[in-house]
Structure 1
Amino acid sequence: MRAEPPRIAVLAKAPLPGRAKTRLIPALGAAGAATLHARLLRRTLAVARAATAPERLTLWTALDHEHPLFIELAEVHGITLAAQQAGDLGRRMHHALAAEAGPGLVVGSDCPVLTPALLRDCWAALAEAEAVCLPAEDGGYGLIGARESDPALFEGIDWGSASVMAQTRARAAALHWRLACPARVWDLDRPDDLVRFAAREDDGP
């Protein structure tokens, strides 16, 4: 296992009604979906902070870089804020990884099953593999990491589709990279996921 703590980048939108967790708006309303997004982001930052030191954790912001929640989280956890690069999700993740001085992990804020131990397992996997992913049940992934980011890993991906993980495996193979997948996870993206989320003892309604 790597002796140093993980370098983690968290990508998140500001919790603006109508702009965050839009697929949950039919179930929660715009304000409710934004509130849930803020709750998930708080949880993700707490989990990441439990896995690493504050100087190795960056919150990459979108929509409103000066949003009060971002400022609060930076102060509470003693972490760095940075603005996400323009472009699609792949470009933004590559930029966040490339900004790290060495290997790094990138996560979003909508994976309720992410734990400090799982983050540390992914970080340790980079000792043997060039890249690491946590495949998600919907065909995407909840985390990606690499020893050194390469834009080719993120090109030609149908973001938001059920093909994301399969396409990412193909990109890693084309780079001749070993891709470690320590666990399978699920994301909170759709109304059906709310029941599952509420059933978790630590994240009840």
Structure 2
Amino acid sequence: MTDTTATETDALAASPRLFESDILDKLSRVHHLTPPLVYGPIILWLVAYASNYAGAGEIALAFVLGYVAWTLTEYFGHRFLFHTVFPLPFGLGPRFQFLIHGVHHIYPSDPLRLVMPPLLSAPIMLIALTLIRLIVGGAFAWPMLAGFIAGYVLYDCVHFWTHHGQPKSKLGHLVRRLHMLHHFRDPERGFGVHAIWWDYVFGTQYAKDQTPGSRAV
């Protein structure tokens, strides 16, 4: 067995099967570089397209507003969507919650399920585009969408890093500690993965003296 094959086997061993369908199960596993590789060119194209009719200042403002919109999506989505069991027909609520987030809390270091599959992230981007166009209009929407997508890519990269990276700065240690507290101390706090400031704004931050426990939740 080659080193590459052994590495792939180890990764799959740490990544439990979710679907009976081989195709669905394969699509649920995503390499952590997928978001920047898929969405990086789209971000660049959106900014380049906007430069045909808007100035740098207008593009920068729209980009920042889009990024802020993502950080709020990250916080509220994690708090109210990922951690809520919805009363779906046929008792599918628990299954839905497990698939979108519960499995991550049971297997927090699964290397292939730490970033969103494109089948899940793409609809989010389409919904964001629709809402942005309704709110700010067509021309301003494209650079704002670029900022929104950039925020998502940063979120996914930071999320993977909090589980498999080694922080070297005070900020890095803080971001990782807060996310580990969410997993191993109190899952009802610390909903900002990279946008940690929203927890302080909305009162879901951890106390300074709290430390991650040894119990997965």
| Same fold (TM > 0.5) | no
Instruction: Give the number of the structure whose residues are more often helix, by fraction.
Output: 2
TM-score w.r.t. the length of structure 2 is 0.25
Of structures 1 and 2, the larger Rg is shown by 2
Query: Structure 1 length normalisation: TM-score?
Result: 0.27
More strand by share: 1
